[in-house]
């Protein structure tokens, strides 16, 4: 039987890891991910998991050990944040190109410098081209659910790509919420046993991993990664459908809230969507036709589906919790702009960079965004392409 508990995101993630019972975990503690590693360490110390837990000396070694363990032929998980992810950057790419189905929770935190331990999305956005599937979660429940689904997605034979599951540092990682924890057996039944492909430990059938790959083959191998991402786009909804059958909670590429008949749409990732929903409700009560779209899957980017969902909107406001210095706007804005243009969506688009380094984002700020969008819908003019919310200019 499933149970309801008050849990923060990191405890819920550790619970998911306990239930998945990976063969190997290699991880290094970093704020705000630390309590996941601590809680999991206790599970290991208490014999509640069979996992060999490698307490590595750095995140770089964490990802290297994960790749080695995965190639050896078993199920592997890890978790990190911010600078930890940055330190393992080199290996993050290598994990994907080795087609290692590693599942990693990334508790989103601002990248240094200056050093800052609080939430923004600069860490995982920086790895958006690394070849990992990326899922963003709004709250502890989604962190838990995504971690479990990530195992199935990563290990699907048509995919075999690593998956990053994200949620907001401190806001979600340390905020207590009601979480439905499923029965251990039900989770294990859902994920199924691990099937090894070309295992290093199969000494009778030796394989070479990570050879030197020049201009004569490298491009084909990159092309195969592209293909795997395409398959992932098919597999992610399949896994979500099966998850819903098992556990009743529905997941898609994105989540829509009062979007159908909306003229003004706001697009925002993760925990801020919760705040935005309440703003949508209060503005709807005032007669404004506003709605919300919260992407869950950022890689593979569901461009066509997003375009369809936003097709008849007049203005689309994107909120980016990270910036791409020198680019047109934040990463979510740039990607979404390209998607809407490609699929002939005529909505006007603007970007709001917010919440960097954990800066608080209030309902009144989100309301001001909607007011901006309303003004743009009325005048047909884009007032300002990128606005920095709540910053001293």
Can you give the binding site for other proteins, defined by CB under 8 A?
23-24, 26, 50-52, 54-58, 60-61, 64-74, 76, 90-91, 94, 98, 200-203, 206-214, 217
**Under a CB-based contact definition with an 8 Å cutoff, are residues 317 and 371 in contact?**
no
- The CB-of-187 to other proteins minimum distance in angstroms stands at 17
CB 187 within 8 A of CB 148: yes
- Least distance in angstroms from the C-beta of 198 to other proteins: 9
Least distance in angstroms from the C-beta of 207 to other proteins: 6
Choice between 76 and 228, CB closer to other proteins: 76
Residue 203 φ then ψ, to 5°: -70, -15
Query: Considering beta carbons, is residue 30 or 71 the nearer one to other proteins?
Result: 71
Radius of gyration of the chain (CA): 21
Nearest CA to 166 out of 183, 184, 144, 187 is that of: 144
Q: Pick between residue 65 and residue 273 the one whose CB is nearest to other proteins.
A: 65
Residue 165 CB, nearest distance to other proteins (Å)?
20
Residue entry with tokens 């592209």: 226
* 268: CB partners within 8 A, 6+ apart: 276, 292, 294, 318, 319, 321
CB of 280 to other proteins, least distance (A): 46
3-class state of residue 358 by DSSP: helix
- Residue nearer to other proteins on the CB measure, 212 or 285: 212
Q: Buried b / exposed e across 164-178, counting CB within 10 Å, b at 16+?
A: bbbbbbbbbbbeebe
* Eight-class DSSP state of 157: T
State the helix-helix crossing angle for 140-155 and 184-191, rounded to 10 degrees. 40
For the beta carbon of residue 209, count every other beta carbon within 10 angstroms: 14
Shortest distance in whole angstroms from residue 218 CB to other proteins = 8
Among 319, 306, 305, smallest CA distance to 266 is for 319
Q: Which is nearer to other proteins, 50 or 261 (by Cβ)?
A: 50
Cβ proximity to other proteins: between 92 and 366 the closer is: 92
Cβ distance to other proteins smaller for residue 200 or 377: 200
Residue 209 or 343: the one with the smaller Cβ distance to other proteins is 209
Residue 23 CB, nearest approach to other proteins (Å): 4
Minimum separation from the CB atom of position 30 to other proteins (A): 16
Residues in the chain: 393
Order the strands of the 254-257 sheet from edge to edge.
Answer: 254-257, 290-295, 264-268, 315-320, 348-353, 386-388
> What count of Cα atoms within 13 Å lies in the side-chain half-sphere of residue 205?
7
Which residue, 73 or 274, is less far from other proteins as judged by CB? 73
Least distance from other proteins to the Cβ atom of residue 70, Å:
8
């Amino acid at each position: 039987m499933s149970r309801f508990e008050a849990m923060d995101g990191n405890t819920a993630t550790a619970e998911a890891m306990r239930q998945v019972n990976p063969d190997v975990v290699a991880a290094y503690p970093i704020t705000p991910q630390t309590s996941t590693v601590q809680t999991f360490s206790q599970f290991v110390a208490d014999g509640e998991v069979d996992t060999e837990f490698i307490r590595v000396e750095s995140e770089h070694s964490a990802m290297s050990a994960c790749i080695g363990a995965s190639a050896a032929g078993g199920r592997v998980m890890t978790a990190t944040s911010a600078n930890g992810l940055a330190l393992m950057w080199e290996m993050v790419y290598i994990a994907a190109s080795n087609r290692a189905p590693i599942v990693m929770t990334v508790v989103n935190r601002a990248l240094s410098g200056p050093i800052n331990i609080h939430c923004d999305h600069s860490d995982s956005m920086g790895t958006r081209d690394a070849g990992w599937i990326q899922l963003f979660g709004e709250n502890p429940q989604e962190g838990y659910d995504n971690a479990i689904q990530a195992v199935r997605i990563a290990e699907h034979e048509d995919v075999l790509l690593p998956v990053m599951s994200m949620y907001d540092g401190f806001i979600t990682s340390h905020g207590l919420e009601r979480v439905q924890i499923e029965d251990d057996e039900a989770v294990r039944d859902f994920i199924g046993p691990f099937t090894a492909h070309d295992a290093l430990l199969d000494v009778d059938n030796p394989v070479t991993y990570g050879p030197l790959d020049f201009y004569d083959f490298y491009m084909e191998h990159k092309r195969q990664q592209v293909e795997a991402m395409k398959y992932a786009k098919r597999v992610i909804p399949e896994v979500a459908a099966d998850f819903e059958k098992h556990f009743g909670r529905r997941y898609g590429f994105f989540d829509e809230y009062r979007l159908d008949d909306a003229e003004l749409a706001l697009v925002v990732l993760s925990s801020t969507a919760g705040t935005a929903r309440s703003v949508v409700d209060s503005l709807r009560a005032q007669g404004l036709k506003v709605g919300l779209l919260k992407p869950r899957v950022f890689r593979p980017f569901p461009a066509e589906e997003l375009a369809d969902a936003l097709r008849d909107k007049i203005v689309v406001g994107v909120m980016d919790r990270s910036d791409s210095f020198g680019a047109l706007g934040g990463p979510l804005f740039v990607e979404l702009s390209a998607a809407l243009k490609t699929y002939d969506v005529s909505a006007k688009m603007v970007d709001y960079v917010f919440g960097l380094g954990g800066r608080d984002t209030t309902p009144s700020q989100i309301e001001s965004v909607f007011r901006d969008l309303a003004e743009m819908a009325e005048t047909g003019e884009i007032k300002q392409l990128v606005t920095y919310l709540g910053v001293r200019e």
